[in-house]
Amino acid sequence: MEEQTTATPLNSRHRDLKALMAPFGGWDMPIQYEGIIAEHAWCRQKAALFDICHMGEFIFQGDFEAGGLEDVFTFSVKTIPVGRSRYGFLLNDQGGIIDDLIVFRLAEDKVMVVVNAATAANDFAVIIQRLRGGSFTNITDQTGKLDIQGPLAREVMLAAFGEQIATIPYFKFITMNILGVEAIVSRTGYTGELGYEIFIPADKVCQLWDLLLQDERVKPAGLGARDVLRLEVGYSLYGSDIDESTTPLETGLEAFVNFDKSFVGKQALLRQKEQGLTRKKVAFEVSSRRSPRHHYEICFAGERVGDVTSGVYSPMLGGGIGIGFVKPDLAVIGTPLTIRHERISMEAVVCELPFYRDGSLRS
């Protein structure tokens, strides 16, 4: 039975460009246009345009503390300055990650919460159940989102929308007029390159897509290239590297957990800290051009010690890279591993993240 999917407003544009389409998080999404390697290279060298309309967006308005929002996430909402954003987690009672997300502080009493596509409906239900007041609305259907990423992204955006763009530092955003409507332009992304995320009313997103692609420095890129780009810089993918069975401590993301505040799942994480981890995220490089894949076995001294959660061929490193989970004593830099699947076997070594460090992210 074919998976039921939702189309983004740009679906016809992707099909006109002969994109390879596939289901992702309940959406019909472009995997590639001219090819994953070519699109990856364009993003690392010039500027790639991604359709990210599948992400979920919610608006909370009200008193963050009295309304209960301050206790919902692993970070403080009230201390985010207006015009800035913060990354962190929505956890369950066991400390497992319901979702990773970003909160944008739009005003003193207003934020936008941006969540992953596949978890959006559940996220909204969980958050609203935890709130005690305020207004909480789901604006996903009304919101379009494009990401332009790459070392030339700023030049492209300046040419299209003016000097305001040059003033946006990393993890800050501005609200500005684009195509006659109010849009949010954020200096964030998922590729390790300089880039911007643009939130605009859904009925304007096709016009914005067409406008940006008129610039010869810009080409469209699909989720295939995006997956390689994000893994090269060590970003986790929800549903593969993190989910409700993993905690921020196991995934090496404790930096995004503020233990000085209250949040759901805090006591479970404190217990895990006290008892010690039984597994830990590990990054590894393969000694060949072979690609480790999701669910491949991670072995040490002939024994299975874990599983790969993400793996690709990295054009920037010229070999296979991956991440997975192993016992903490094996997550030591330089530890030799073997990655196996049926008759496939590849030698690997534990390394530091990010794999690729030369991106234009903070340029």
- The pLDDT, as a whole number, for residue 3 is 66
In a domain? residue 174? yes
Is residue 90, in this structure, part of any structural domain at all?
no
148 and 28 within one domain? yes
Domain membership flag for residue 153: yes
| Residues 283, 203 share a domain | no
Domain, as residue range, for 343: 278-351
Type of residue found at 21? M
Whether 145 is covered by a domain: the verdict is yes
Question: 180 with 304, same domain?
Answer: no
188 and 304 in a common domain: no
State the Cα–Cα distance between residues 140 and 59, nearest whole angstrom: 10
Same domain, 35 and 165: yes
Q: How far apart are CA 246 and CA 238, in angstroms?
A: 10
* Domain-terminating residue out of 232, 257, 290: 232
Residue 72 lies in a domain: no
- Residue 84 in any domain: the answer is no
Residues 24 and 163 in one domain: yes
Q: How many CB atoms lie within 10 A of CB 301?
A: 9
Distances (CA, A) of 66 to 62, 90, 215, 266, 346: 8, 19, 47, 20, 54
168 and 223 share one domain: yes
Same structural domain, 228 and 283: no
Last residue of a domain, one of 171, 203, 232: 232
User: What's the pLDDT score for residue 1?
Assistant: 46
Cα–Cα distance, 179 to 208 (Å, whole number): 8
Give the CATH number, domain containing residue 305. 2.40.30.110
Q: For residues 226 and 294, state if they share a domain.
A: no
**pTM listed for this prediction:** 0.97
Examine residue 221 and state whether it is found in any structural domain, yes or no: yes
CA distances for 144 relative to 8, 155, 183, 201, 203, angstroms = 8, 22, 10, 5, 8
Give the model's pLDDT for residue 289.
Answer: 94
24 part of a folded domain: yes
Number of domains in the chain: 2
Could you give the angle at which helices 153-161 and 205-213 cross, rounded to 10 degrees? 110
- pLDDT tens by residue, the chain, 363 residues: 456 899 999 999 999 999 999 999 899 999 999 999 999 999 999 999 999 999 999 999 999 999 999 999 999 999 999 999 999 999 999 999 999 999 999 999 999 999 999 999 999 999 999 999 999 999 999 999 999 999 999 999 999 999 999 999 999 999 999 999 999 999 999 999 999 999 999 999 999 999 999 999 999 999 999 999 999 999 999 999 999 999 999 999 999 999 999 999 999 999 999 999 999 999 999 999 999 999 999 999 999 999 999 999 999 999 999 999 999 999 999 999 999 999 999 999 999 999 999 999 988
| Secondary structure string (H, E, C) spanning the chain | CCCCCEECCCHHHHHHCCCEEEEECCEEEEEECCCHHHHHHHHHHCEEEEECCCCEEEEEECCCCCCCHHHCECCCCCCCCCCEEEEEEEECCCCCEEEEEEEEEEECCEEEEEECCCCHHHHHHHHHHHCCCCEEEECHHHEEEEEEECCCHHHHHHHHHCHHHHHCCCCEEEEEEECCEEEEEECCCCCCCCEEEEEEEHHHHHHHHHHHHCCCCEEECCHHHHHHHHHHCCCCCECCCECCCCCCCCCCCHHHCCCCCCCCCHHHHHHHHHHCCCCEEEEEEECCCCCCCCCCEEEECCEEEEEEEEEEEECCCCEEEEEEEECHHHCCCCCEEEEEECCEEEEEEEECCCCCCCCCCCC
CATH value at residue 24: 3.30.1360.120
Specify whether 343 is located in the same domain as 286. yes
pLDDT at 2: 53
Task: Choose one of 217, 232, 247: the last residue of a domain.
Answer: 232
Q: What are phi and psi of 269, to 5 degrees?
A: -70, -40
Q: Do residues 150 and 32 both lie within one domain?
A: yes
Q: What is the rounded CA–CA span in Å between residue 226 and residue 346?
A: 24
Place of tokens 């919902």: 72
- Residue of 304, 312, 291 lying closest to 338 (CA atoms): 304
153 and 34, same domain (yes or no): yes
Q: Are 335 and 301 in contact (CB under 8 A)?
A: no
C-alpha–C-alpha distance, residues 323 and 235, integer Å: 10
